């Protein structure tokens, strides 16, 4: 195929893509008006009102929530409890669940988000002991792991 044909096809595709985008935008404006959105909300409210049992079961379904449900065993009572034999990531998730997200470094007093401030294990044995964890910024965490700084 010639270069002229390739250029023509590129231009034709670009023109049609612009047409399709414009058409989709106009169709969306026409079809999804505020009245139609409100009608959809009302239909959903009515459906949940008519199907209360299903909706209640669905909201308490443990596959659709991350919170521990009332009446279900958790912690040491749960059948899948592993004690100290858990993975690195799972242990950090457990610490974050019980102590919350860290937001201030205990060494340099720097504040930041969860990517800048991390949970560091004091003993470096990674046990399920909440007193064995401290909040450190990423730079202090690296220095602590290398043994260059000591915590009070």
Note whether residue 71 is domain-resident: no
* Domain total in the chain: 2
Note whether residue 23 is domain-resident: yes
Whether 126 and 96 share a structural domain: yes
The closest alpha carbon to 134, from 110, 114, 104, 112, belongs to 104
Note whether residue 14 is domain-resident: yes
What CA–CA distance (Å, rounded) separates 132 from 35? 56
Note whether residue 77 is domain-resident: no
Whether 57 and 95 share a structural domain: no
Residue 67 above 80 pLDDT?
no
pTM of model > 0.75 = no
Q: Using 50, 70 and 90 to split pLDDT, how confident is the model at 33?
A: confident
Domain interval for residue 10: 3-63
Residue 57 above 80 pLDDT?
no
Whether 90 and 59 share a structural domain: no
How would you classify the pairing of strands 133-137 and 117-121?
Answer: antiparallel
């Amino acid at each position: 195929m010639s270069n002229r044909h390739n250029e023509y096809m590129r231009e034709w595709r670009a023109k049609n893509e612009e047409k399709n985008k414009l058409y989709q935008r106009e169709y969306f404006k026409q079809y999804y008006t505020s009245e139609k959105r409100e009608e959809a909300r009302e239909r959903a409210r009515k459906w949940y009102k008519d199907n209360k049992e299903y909706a209640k079961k669905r909201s308490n379904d443990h596959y659709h929530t991350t919170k521990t449900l009332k009446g279900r065993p958790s912690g040491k009572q749960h059948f899948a409890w592993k004690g100290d034999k858990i993975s690195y990531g799972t242990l950090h998730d457990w610490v974050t669940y019980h102590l919350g997200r860290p937001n201030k470094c205990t060494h340099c007093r720097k504040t930041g988000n969860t990517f800048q401030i991390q949970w560091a294990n004091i003993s470096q044995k990674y046990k399920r002991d909440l007193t064995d964890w401290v909040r450190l910024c990423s730079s202090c965490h690296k220095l602590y792991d290398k043994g260059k700084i000591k915590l009070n």
